[in-house]
Amino acid sequence: MLYLRRITDVYEVKVFTDSGDYFGDIEEAILSGNRVFGWKVRATRNSSLSRALGSAKGVIVPHQLVKAIGDIMIISKAAVSSFEGSPEVAPIAEE
Cα distance between residue 89 and residue 91, in whole Å: 7
Q: Is 41 in contact with 24 (CB distance < 8 Å)?
A: yes
**Mean pLDDT across 5-34:** 89
CATH number for the domain whose boundaries are 7-87: 2.30.30.240
**Mean pLDDT across 62-88:** 77
**Mean pLDDT across 3-30:** 88
Q: Is 32 in contact with 7 (CB distance < 8 Å)?
A: no
Per-residue pLDDT at 66 exceeds 90: yes
- Entry pTM: 0.75
Domain boundaries defined on the chain? 7-87
Cα distance between residue 42 and residue 30, in whole Å: 13
Neighbours of 23 (CB within 10 A): 27
More confident residue, 54 or 7: 7
Dihedral, CA of residue 81, residue 70, residue 32 and residue 42, to nearest 10? -50
Q: How much is the pLDDT for 59?
A: 87
